[in-house]
Every structure is written in structure tokens, then in C-alpha cells.
Structure 1
Amino acid sequence: MPAGELAPDRRRRLLETAAREFAAEGYEHASLNAIIHACGMGKSSFYHYFGSKAVLFDTVVGEALGELASMLDIPAPRDLAGPHFWDRVTDLLLDLLGIAGRGTWHAEVGKLFYLPDAPTGHSPALREAWESIRSWLDRTLATGRECGAIRADLPPSLQAALIGEVLQCLDRWSLRHLHEYPAREQEDLARAQADALRRLLAP
């Protein structure tokens, strides 16, 4: 391990602890002292490695999303065109909801997107993630409309706004509650959510 780097196990513990604290308390009210104390670190050590709460928050988001991207098979929107459109979209949604249901630290980080005081303006990782999600959704909706998998009787901008709100509602609920259900019920609920999305958008 290069000099000056935090040991991987200590770094992971710090990031997971911070994710739980941010998710439970919000950005402004999250206690650095509580995070540092839980990890057995001193303040000077923390500030040496991270420098600020903002840097810690951004690191938590960036590292979790990087891991999440490696766990998922996210198709390029143009590759969804054709009769398999809804099967591929459903598979992706089920994979995402499956992670939410397992209650991993990725699920805790998912909650950070919906904090009332989320520091989007000061978190490049959070801002870039939102931009990437919106871009993928816009291109996926366009592909679905072009191939006939998505209804085209609404203006694209209205449809994008509608589906954005619906997906956020499903995501927020799943991150908070899906892990409370037995595994089989989690799968049934995830499939019901995917079916509701399809019924909303399919012709």
C-alpha cells in the first residue's frame, strides 16, 4: 500500500459508516464526530485523508456508484430497440430493486440522492450521476418511441418528466421499505413495479 493512503479495510468501514450517517441524518445534520468515532479514527487523521465533509460525501457517492455500475448490465439505449425492449428494461429494473432489497451500502447511498439537503451543487459525483441518469432515460424513451415499444401520444418532454417522477417514487419507496419484506415478496413487488411502469408507457 503506497505511503499516505488509508488502509482499504479502514477506508471501506469509513465510507459505509458515512453512508449510513448521511442517509439517516441528512447532509447538514450528519455528524463527522459520530462517523469518525465509530471508525476509531482521530480528527487529524480524517482531515488528512479527506479534508472535509463535502469530500467525504462525494467519495461515498462516487465509490458506491462505481461499484454499482460494475454489478449491473446497463444497456445502451439504442441496443434496446426491437421486440426485446421491455424485457431488457424489466431485467435492469429488477436488478436495481434487488440491490435495494438486500439493504447493502449501495442502498444506503441510493438514499442520498433524495436527501432534502443533498449537496448536489457541491458534489460532482452526485451531479454527474443525476445528469447521466437523465440522459439515459431521455435516450431510452426516444428509442422506445421510435421502435413502438413506448406510446407516442404525449410530448416527449412531458413523458420524460412523468416517468422521471414515477421512477423516483418507486426508487425512494424501495430503498426505504423493500428490505422489510421476505425475499420472495421482494421479487413479487419488484415485478409488480416493473409491470406498472410498462402499463404506464406501453402503447
Structure 2
Amino acid sequence: MVLSAERRSLLVRTAAREFARVGFEQASLNAVIRDCGLSKSSFYHVLDSKAALYELVIDDIARDLAAALDAPEPAAFAGPEFWQRVEEFIGRLAEVLASDEAFTQLAHMIYDRRPPRDDGAGARVTQTAQAWVGELVAVGRDCGAVRADLPESLQGALAVAVLRAMDEWSVAHLDEIPAAAMPALLAAQFAALRRLLDA
């Protein structure tokens, strides 16, 4: 049995809400199936477990996020406008993340402390993002925008760690941050990152 695109989207979004709300371990597969109007037999013709659904949700929403963001290759940031381009990209990323609640739910899932697999879809999304940031740092060094007094691999690791900490904190506290305060928070986070790396 193959789900229609509409039914698949409903399943993915319903499951994303549940996984983001209580985490993988506490999420109720029965509730997801019920809220989608599926029978258990129909569900198990498509997926064999809650863990498989978790992987599907991350893969589908991450694909949608990548399409919506359309991130440029790191090389596109090279030149004297490096930091301006980075700041503009961070602003664009924030806009895209705010455009669909599923993207925030994806972040909650990626930061789940007890996912079904340590090497699953969430890890793959994280690794892809980390590799992109590492390449961006290398581009910044090559064009003189990023300091070169530390090993490149260490700088990449620092940038990833700082960005992850900022993002994870922001996701965890999103309900507490007034919309009017978000631009100032993003600006402060960008400034902190730039202070760490600026040449």
C-alpha cells in the first residue's frame, strides 16, 4: 500500500507534532494513527514501527526545509561581503523556519536526547549542516574574513558548537520569546558568532 501525497503529508505533520511535543519515547503511535484517520492495518502496510515513522518524518520535513531555504554553496559567500552575506543568510533562515511549524517541530526532533537511532535521519541532517558550516568557515578563512590563528578544523568545530547551542536554546525557549524581540536576539547571536571568528 502506498499513501497518497495528501495522506502522507497528514501523517508526517501529525506525527511531527506528537514527536516534538513529548519526544520519541513518550509519543503515542496510536494517537498519531487515530488523528490521521488511519487504521492500524493501513499504517503497518506502509511502515513497520514508530521508529520507522520517526525517520520518515525527519526525512520528509528536512527535504521540505532544504527546498524552502535553497541554501547557496559556501563558495557563494566568498569576498569582502562575507559577513554581510552570512548575516543575510541567517535572517533568511530565521524567516523560513518561522514560516512553517513543521520546521520548528523538526528541530525539536533533532534535539531529542533519546532518538530511536543515534545514526538515523536526525544524525544525517545534523552531519549535513555541520559539513556546510565547516566549508563556510574554510571559505571565510580563504577570503580573509575569518581569523586564521586557530586550526581550521577546530574553528569549524567551534562554529558548529556555538550555532547548535544557540539554535537548541532558541528552540527550547521559542514560546517565551516575544516576536518583537526575535530580531534583536538574532542580531546578538550573529554578533557573538562574528566575535568568535572575525579576522
Establish whether TM, by shorter chain, passes 0.5.
yes
* 1:82 counterpart residue number: 79
Stretches of structure 2 that go unaligned for 5 or more consecutive residues are none
SS in 2 for 1:27: helix
Match of 1:170 among 166, 171, 174: 166
Tell me whether 1:34 sits opposite 2:40 in the alignment: no
Asked if the contact 1:100/1:179 (under 8 Å) is kept, the reply is no
Q: TM-score, normalised by structure 2?
A: 0.89
Which amino acid is the alignment partner of residue 50 of structure 1? L
Asked if the contact 1:100/1:175 (under 8 Å) is kept, the reply is no
My pick for the range that moved more, 60-69 or 183-192, is: 183-192
* 1:160 counterpart residue number: 156
Give the whole-Å Cα distance in 1 for the aligned partners of 2:25 and 2:85.
38
Which amino acid is the alignment partner of residue 43 of structure 1? K
Match of 1:54 among 42, 51, 55: 51
My pick for the range that moved more, 72-81 or 94-103, is: 94-103
SS in 2 for 1:153: coil
Stretches of structure 1 that go unaligned for 5 or more consecutive residues are none
Give the whole-Å Cα distance in 2 for the aligned partners of 1:82 and 1:119.
42
Give the drift of 1:61: 0.8
Q: 1:54 to 1:182 in 2, by over 3 A?
A: same
Identical residues among aligned pairs (%): 43
Give the whole-Å Cα distance in 2 for the aligned partners of 1:83 and 1:73.
23
* Post-superposition CA distance 1:47-85 (Å, at most 9, x none): 112222222111111111111111113121122111121
Give the drift of 1:15: 0.9
Give the whole-Å Cα distance in 2 for the aligned partners of 1:6 and 1:43.
14
Asked if the contact 1:81/1:144 (under 8 Å) is kept, the reply is yes
SS in 2 for 1:71: helix
* 1:130 counterpart residue number: 126
Give the drift of 1:179: 5.0
Give the drift of 1:35: 1.2
* 1:186 counterpart residue number: 182
Asked if the contact 1:103/1:179 (under 8 Å) is kept, the reply is no
Give the drift of 1:103: 6.0
Asked if the contact 1:54/1:122 (under 8 Å) is kept, the reply is no
* 2:41 counterpart residue number: 44
Tell me whether 1:106 sits opposite 2:103 in the alignment: yes
Q: How many residues align?
A: 199
Q: 1:186 to 1:101 in 2, by over 3 A?
A: farther
Asked if the contact 1:78/1:140 (under 8 Å) is kept, the reply is yes
Asked if the contact 1:94/1:194 (under 8 Å) is kept, the reply is no
My pick for the range that moved more, 26-35 or 162-171, is: 26-35
Match of 2:90 among 81, 90, 93: 93
Give the whole-Å Cα distance in 2 for the aligned partners of 1:36 and 1:164.
36
Following TM superposition, the consecutive aligned residue runs of length 4 or more in structure 1 with deviations greater than 6 angstroms are: none
Q: TM-score, normalised by structure 1?
A: 0.88
SS in 2 for 1:26: helix
Q: 1:70 to 1:122 in 2, by over 3 A?
A: same
RMSD (Å) for aligned C-alpha atoms: 2.0
